[in-house]
Amino acid sequence: MKDIVFDGSRRTIEDICHIAEGQARVSLEGGDAYKEKIEKGAEFLDHVLEEKGEVYGVTTGYGDSCTKKVPKENYYLLPLHLTRFHGCGMGDLFDDPTTRAILATRLQSLSLGFSGVSYKLLSGLTGLIQNDILPRIPQEGSVGASGDLTPLSYVGAALVGERDVLYKGDVRPAAEVLAECGMEKHRFRPKEGLAIMNGTAAMTAVACLAYKRAEYLAEMATKLTSLASLALKGNSYHFDDKLFAVKPHEGQAMTAKRIYTDLSGHSETDIMPEKLQDPYSIRCAPHVIGVFYDAAPMLRQLIENELNSANDNPIIDPDSRSILHGGHFYGGHIAFAMDSLKNIIANLADLMDRQLAVLVDEKFNRGLAPNLSGSTGDYSYNHGFKAVQIGASAWTAEALKHTMPASVFSRSTECHNQDKVSMGTIAARDCIRVLELSEQVASACLLAFVQAIDLRVKSGEIEADRLKPLQNLLDQVHGDFEFLEEDRPLEKDLRDTMAKIRSRYWRLDYHG
């Protein structure tokens, strides 16, 4: 368990993922200096209101309604109504890890001290995380500016004891669960409802989780390429360092080196490769997978900068005694990162699907059994991985279909006040869907490629020494998957394998 203290310091993608997966103990900095820093913003805002200064979303209505003045006696009702009228989300609910990530991401932004909120509000958000009280947040309804208003309204509602939450596996009224956990229902101070909702927490939380899943999938695609090359009696020199030294994309070269190392069990006495050049799906795998690694630093920077930003409106700076009206809720950077990442991931799915297509086809698989069937000679009714390849092709096609960039589908909303929006949340959700489908393809390939290796071993075409760099993964798969001799339904095997990919169960031995 990792200890993560929210104190306004910088957080990483990994921090959010640890919290999402229940692998961190979360606390809020409790020192006097930090409390004073947070309260300073709320007190400055109170001072401005006492002097009858105009503050958007505090003394005015929201969005296009900012021309409507709010009487002083309604300053505390306004944020409550904001959470209520945005309670119109639809679609599937975010799962538990994503909900935890959303809570942590919003807490991080507010903990920077530029949102004019009270320390008590931060304590309430921290309490939700610590007690694992999870608002039920629908995925659909955000255009990504003004931030994730509708999804985050469910966080605000939970804090004030409204709507339902998930607690210890049961869906219950928020007020009831807060009382059981010894937490008070929060009373929003002016702007606190807006500060909770007017930001990019949902899309950024999803982006953090997507990045880590993509990182592991790239490693899996690398390992699968090694297995596929070995099973195909491929040419390991496609991955030689000297070749990649003349095209200096670092991520591409790193991928090639990993594959070459995996194939380093070859010796001078090994038989020559079947062909001088392997299909592109083998030979060009580093050029496909390497795109992720070369883009990853930029993607990480975009996601983590958003994670560590004050992204509501207006920004409250008590030190300069400024109230700054702007558009930091706009999720364009996350939209770009997620549109880019889903393209990279879908290309990984397409690569893996093409490798599988080569290996099951007796016209191209260089002597392997048709459809990788383990049947002892009678292929007339045993069809091995034939249907699995069809399924993988379907999953790949659906993943590719989702690569249309969401960010270009901006809509004018909210009486043309929000007339250019990011669609960042839709892009992030698309990215997760592409990941889900690509992980399904990877699960099919892992089982099929291990079957192909086993067929070579059974026929005496691969010596044990050549498997040493890949033996760890082979042993893991053999522990869960029975060699496919006679046809059987493979759905359970596929689902179990996919779940392990999603949880990063397989030890791939790639580091740095």
- Catalytic positions: 56
Q: How far is CA 184 from CA 79, 115, 189, 459, in A?
A: 18, 22, 15, 69
Structure tokens at 177: 């669960």
Q: How many Å apart are CA 132 and CA 498, to the nearest integer?
A: 26
Q: Is 226 left (phi over 0), alpha (psi -120 to 50) or beta?
A: alpha
Relative to beta strand 24-28, strand 2-6 is parallel
Beta strands in 249-406 (DSSP E): 315-317, 322-324
Q: How far is CA 334 from CA 34, 112, 358, in A?
A: 29, 20, 36
Backbone Cα Rg of the chain: 27
> What is the enclosing helix (H) or strand (E) of 135?
strand 134-135
Q: How many Å apart are CA 173 and CA 187, to the nearest integer?
A: 17
Structure tokens at 450: 């291990």
User: Cβ(252)–Cβ(294) under 8 Å?
Assistant: yes
For residue 395, what are the contacts with CB-CB under 8 A and spacing of at least 6?
349, 353, 437, 438, 440, 441, 444
Q: Is 168 left (phi over 0), alpha (psi -120 to 50) or beta?
A: left
Asked whether the CA dihedral 294, 296, 302, 308 is positive or negative, the reply is negative
Q: How many Å apart are CA 504 and CA 233, to the nearest integer?
A: 28
Task: Count CB neighbours of 341 within 10 A.
Answer: 27
For residue 170, what are the contacts with CB-CB under 8 A and spacing of at least 6?
none
Compute the CA torsion angle 119, 122, 124, 125 (nearest 10 deg).
180
Q: Which residue has the tokens 């994670």?
A: 307
Task: Count CB neighbours of 480 within 10 A.
Answer: 13
Q: Is 368 left (phi over 0), alpha (psi -120 to 50) or beta?
A: beta
Q: Phi, psi at residue 437, to the nearest 5°?
A: -65, -40
